[in-house]
Amino acid sequence: MISAFSPNGARAAGPGPPGPRTRAEKDRGRIAQTPAQKKKKCKKPGVGKNRGLDSCLAIWLYCQAGNQKEPTVDAQRKQALTARADILKAMAHPTRLYILEELAQGERCVCELHAGTGADFSTVSKHLSVLKNAGIVEDEKRGLQVFYRLRCPCILSFLGCVENVIQQNVDRQLAALGR
């Protein structure tokens, strides 16, 4: 079999495995992008591993400041709705709701939350991390223990509203059954 490569390693003409491609060859397969599209994309607010809502929002706003185009009202509203959805997603687990109810009574260490949930320490820590990254809880290390507390206690009024919706749904279903 005849090799498509010369002894010095350069690519020879003819069939054979593809060799090093030139810049022009690489660019031919790419879709043309505008300069704005080539900019590094920023993460949306409230998204990102090991980032609190405030720091992520600040980074996102900083990246957006570089854009020349003023965001439209619809874009701003979409961003606000996305930020709200991220917070709701962080609360959307029974164990996390339990943790929020416990923290409503005051700060707790991870060991107390672990005992109440019956889950592994790593699982409880992961749930706390999700809540912390969403900006719902904050922590404070004291010695070897980490204590958590609600960062924004008004979240409890939201949970009360959820309870009202549940009660109204139950009442409506009972009325439909004639009870």
> DSSP state, 4?
S
Task: Tell me if residue 7 falls in helix, strand or coil.
Answer: coil
Residue 118, pLDDT score: 86
pLDDT computed for residue 178 by the predictor: 85
Predicted confidence at residue 156, as pLDDT, reads 87
3-state secondary structure of 13: coil
- CATH number of 42-165, picked from 1.10.10.10, 2.60.40.420, 1.20.120.1780, 3.20.20.70: 1.10.10.10
Q: Write out the chain's pLDDT in tens, 179 residues.
A: 444 444 554 545 555 555 566 665 555 555 555 555 554 444 444 444 444 556 566 666 666 666 555 556 788 999 999 999 999 999 999 999 999 999 999 999 999 999 988 899 999 999 999 999 999 999 999 999 999 999 998 998 998 999 999 999 999 999 999 87
For residues 14 and 24, is the Cβ–Cβ distance under 8 A?
no
The 10 Å Cβ neighbour count of residue 113 is 21
Closest CA to 148 of 104, 115, 116, 103: 103
Under 8 Å between Cβ of 38 and 55: no
The reply to whether the predicted model has a pTM over 0.75 is: no
User: Phi then psi for 109, rounded to 5 degrees?
Assistant: -85, 165
Tell which residue, 138, 99, 104, 96, has the closest CA to residue 116: 99
Which residue's structure tokens are 């709705």?
A: 81
Residue 94 phi, psi dihedral angles, 5° rounding: -55, -40
Output the CA–CA distances (angstroms, integers) from residue 126 to 42, 99, 110, 114, in the order listed.
25, 12, 11, 11
State the pLDDT at residue 124.
95
What residue type is assigned to position 47 of the chain? V
